[in-house]
A and B are shown apart, each in its own frame.
Chain A
Amino acid sequence: MKRTALLTGPYDWDPALLPRAEFDTRLAAVRRVLAGQGATALLVHGHSGEYGALAYLTGVVPKLGPAFALVPNDGPLRVLVSGGPAMLSAAKLLSWVDDVRAFGDLGNAIRDWLKDLAPVRNAVLGLWGHQAMAHRPYMALAGATQSFGKLIELAEPLDALRRNKSPRERELLDRASRILAASSGVFARTAIGGRGARSAALAAERAAFALGAQDVGILASARDGGPPLPFDGPADVPVDPLLACLAVRFAGYWAEGLVTISSTPYGALARAEASLRAMLEEARAGARSSDLARVAASHLSPYRVHSVVEYEIGSSIGLSLEESRSLGRDESSQLEVGGVYTLRSGAMGEGRDNAIVSAMIAVERARVEVLWSALDPSGDDRVGRGLE
């Protein structure tokens, strides 16, 4: 999903949605991990396309270039943002953290902070959110830290914290899912009404923004039954079947859905839906992704697995569209209690005879709640719950 050049939606930190206490709890959990790893401090990276770790701790969704959180194992955090000092007033609105600074030279900014942490010679410095970091800032960061100690990657234990959603996060994901339901409903109605895919996407975007979405990303077929793709030009052609991926972000949290819109029932769609239904029936805490994939595939015959879901049947979702770890088709990743996941299926036949569908689920100890499903894309049976 291509990210926008500059995020424009409502990104200011809203304590009514995510209170300071929520961040305090997260910070305490992260510091317990640091203590367990013998780490003195943590460096957290994010940019506007992938900010999950950074937002988890600070609320910051960076808009201009990369941003970093510098987290000592005790004491206040510091946030470094791209952009000049004159632009800081807007950046400060993004976070509960008081110490927000603009950086020009990343290496110097990190060295200055590490000096303030003295004594930190031979320190162990944790790194999180670094997988998406570009080569240049990574080299600057590595250079700045080498005289203070060694860097260790802490994605594995810290990502596990993110996967376990708090009740507050569940509420936000639920709201994101309801926006997705409304948006995908508009998308479907517009397309079925005979409008082009581009018009349907624009109508869906507007609907999502009207309900408070921060960002919307939509990919859609460029030909009948084609794979979901970005809109490369102004062409606005009716497409049937129309395969699409819709993603909406609310308060930092993503909801994502794969849908197939068609004026008439057809084979691939029926098989894809049966496959998703079977997966949903099997989904429970502890279920393995390889088992879910097998169940899904058993309902696809005579169709092939769609290329969109060739390697993965879903992933954890939250502050990132695809949180680690993904639900690999051949892996033993398990659905975890407290996790929120997308489950995807798709059938591929010949020509236009293709379909993709998905659902979002919340996994609890004794049950699985479906937050959104392509089997009921506009969430008609959830309408009564309203959109706050």
Chain B
Amino acid sequence: MNLDTRIDVVLGRMVPENIDLLIAASNGLHLLDRPDPAVHLGGYRSLGECLFLLYRDGTRKLIVSPAADDERVAAWRGLSGCIATDDIAGALARELTERGTVAGRIGTAGVDALPHRLAARLLALTGGHTRSFDDLLDAATGRKTSAEIERARRAVAIAERGLDRLLKAARPGMPECELAVGLNCYTKSLGADDNFLMLSASPHNRAVMPSSGRRLAPGDILLTEFTPSYEGQFAQICRTISVGSPSAELEETYDLVVRAMWAGIEAIRPGIPISEVCRAVDRVFEAAGYREYCQPPHMRRRGHGLGSGSIAPGDLTTNNDRVLEEDMIFVVHPNQYIPGTGYLLCGEPVRVTATGVETLTARTAALGVIPIGSVPCA
């Protein structure tokens, strides 16, 4: 699958909806867990806000900001006729006038994430008669392209090397944020363009959090969601690391969390609702006596899609009945609070195959240890 195939799918949805023009917007932030319709359809990651225009006849246009992005967008080979401007609303106004597009037959996606004033201006330009195409777009185009899958593989490889570096670099006394900054620099040196790196530690965690100035200490349980982006595609691994020798209780509980993760992964195949994956994870915890912990605040979700672009299939929750399709990519992470040990992380990025599932890591989740002697954790 490639971008052209994706565009054909979207055009196929525009016709029955009587949409002549789809305006797909990007706020230029390129985040892990927010959809970016312009990147998803256009493939271009703008520096600022950006609009990808798709006409019913297949014509495509890209309006990017700022104007200083002109040379970059001109060199980009994805699309001819790109415009770089400091006034994308003005450029859209001229475009709508030239094409004579009919109000009421314009669909939009991603406008809610634009800065308010720009969003209001865009909506005013279309006479306030646009229709939201967000849900239709998300439902129709959850599969990754071959290029996106390859980027996800590269991102996963970087994440695994980053984890190796973490295990070597982390030591008691080091502030969490110093460790996180060093890891970000390292993953950049490996080709990552960004990293959504959650990293926090405590003897008894309630959640994984952004890094603070807290210093690592013997007996800590270090949690990390390692999420590099390679050419705009994020991929995530989730790991738990004991600072010092793990206690028997921690090892036993972590084994439970890993088993829950595998139960979820093994349930994956095309055609099933994502909620079934979530239930497969839950069943393992329920069988171990943790039914009451299979809800917030003890857990939040059992995984999620990976942007930027589409974040399909969305969150792995029991009320998400989105049906899995081949070449969807997401992370399965039970990430569960258990009394005694606290919140524990394990998570694997996966691709849905024609008949089942492929895990993208070379080494799957296991309890990590930062050796410092014989200080037991938890």
A8-B197, A84-B300 are known contacts. Are A130 and B116 too (CB-CB below 8 A)?
A: yes
Q: Are B175 and A135 in contact (CB under 8 A)?
A: no
A131 in contact (CB, < 8 A):
yes
| Interface members, chain B 173-230 (any A CB < 8 Å) | 175, 177-178, 180-182, 184-185, 188-189, 191, 193-200, 206-207, 209-213, 227, 229
Q: In whole Å, how far is A345's beta carbon from the nearest beta carbon of chain B?
A: 15
| Interface members, chain A 1-52 (any B CB < 8 Å) | 2-12, 49
Q: In whole Å, how far is A260's beta carbon from the nearest beta carbon of chain B?
A: 16
Q: Are A87 and B112 in contact (CB under 8 A)?
A: no
The residue on B at minimum CB distance from A6 is B196
Q: Are B175 and A10 in contact (CB under 8 A)?
A: yes
A148 in contact (CB, < 8 A):
no
A11 to B30, CA, bound (A): 22
Range, interface on chain B: 35 or more
B296 in contact (CB, < 8 A):
yes
A156 in contact (CB, < 8 A):
no
Q: Which of B16-24, B64-72, B246-254 is found at the contact surface with chain A? A: B64-72
What residues of chain B lie closer than 8 Å to A93, measured between beta carbons?
212-213
Q: Which of A107-115, A228-236, A250-258, A261-269 is found at the contact surface with chain B? A: A228-236
A8-B184, A134-B27, A227-B71 are known contacts. Are A89 and B113 too (CB-CB below 8 A)?
A: no
Q: Are B195 and A234 in contact (CB under 8 A)?
A: no
A5 to B27, CA, bound (A): 13
Q: In whole Å, how far is A57's beta carbon from the nearest beta carbon of chain B?
A: 21
What residues of chain B lie closer than 8 Å to A139, measured between beta carbons?
116
Q: B207's contact among A86, A229, A231, by CB below 8 Å, is which?
A: A86
B28 in contact (CB, < 8 A):
yes
> Residues on B close to A: CB < 8 A?
27-32, 45, 47, 67-72, 86, 111-117, 119-120, 175, 177-178, 180-182, 184-185, 188-189, 191, 193-200, 206-207, 209-213, 227, 229, 231, 234, 296-297, 300, 337, 343
> Residues on A close to B: CB < 8 A?
2-12, 49, 63-64, 83-87, 89-90, 93, 130-136, 138-139, 202, 205-206, 209, 222, 226-227, 229-234, 307-308, 310-311
**Please, could you name 26 A-B residue pairs with CB atoms under 8 Å apart, sorted by A?**
A2-B194, A4-B194, A4-B195, A5-B32, A5-B227, A6-B210, A8-B180, A8-B181, A11-B212, A84-B300, A86-B337, A87-B207, A90-B210, A93-B213, A131-B115, A134-B114, A134-B119, A135-B112, A138-B116, A205-B188, A209-B185, A229-B47, A230-B193, A231-B193, A233-B193, A234-B191
Contacts A5-B194, A134-B115 supplied; 18 other A-B pairs, CB < 8 Å: A4-B195, A5-B31, A5-B195, A5-B229, A10-B178, A84-B296, A84-B300, A90-B200, A133-B116, A134-B27, A134-B116, A134-B119, A135-B115, A135-B120, A205-B185, A206-B185, A227-B68, A307-B67
